[in-house]
Amino acid sequence: MSGDSEVRLGLVLPDVLGTYSDSGNATVLSKRLEWRGVPATIVPVKLGEPVPSSLDLYLLGGGEDEAQALAATHLRAHRGLQEAAARGAVVVGVCAGFQVLGTSFVTSGGVEHEGLGLLDATTRPGERRAVGEVVARVDSLLGDEPLTGFENHQGTTTLGPGSAPLGEVVRGVGNGDGSGSEGARTGHILATYLHGPVLARNPALADLLLEWVLGEPPKPLALAEVSALRRERLSGVRFGHRR
Ligand code: GLN
**pLDDT score for 237:** 77
* Res. 212: pLDDT tops 50: yes
**pLDDT score for 97:** 98
Give the residue from 110, 104, 107, 108 showing the smallest Cα distance to 122.
Answer: 104
For residues 2 and 7, what is the distance between their CA atoms, to the nearest angstrom? 7
Q: Kindly give, in sequence order, each residue whose CB lies less than 8 Å from that of residue 213, ignoring residues fewer than 6 positions away.
A: 1, 7, 56, 57, 90
Distance (Å) from CA 240 to ligand 1 centroid: 23
Average pLDDT across the chain, whole number: 95
Averaged over 170-198, what is the pLDDT? 98
* Res. 243: pLDDT tops 80: no
Q: Convert the pLDDT of each residue in 7-62 to its tens digit.
A: 999 999 999 999 899 999 999 999 999 999 999 999 999 999 999 999 999 999 99
CATH of 7-234, one of 3.40.50.880, 3.40.50.1820, 3.50.50.60, 3.30.390.30: 3.40.50.880
Where along the chain do its domains lie? 7-234
Q: Which of 74, 78, 95, 241 is catalytic?
A: 95
Q: How confident is the model at residue 241 (pLDDT cuts 50, 70, 90)?
A: very low
Confirm or deny that 87 is annotated as ligand binding. no
For residues 219 and 99, what is the distance between their CA atoms, to the nearest angstrom? 32
Distance (Å) from CA 124 to ligand 1 centroid: 11
Ligand 1 binding pocket, CB closer than 6 Å: 20, 62-65, 68, 95-96, 152-155
Reported pTM: 0.95
Q: Convert the pLDDT of each residue in 76-120 to its tens digit.
A: 999 999 999 999 999 999 999 999 999 999 999 999 999 999 999
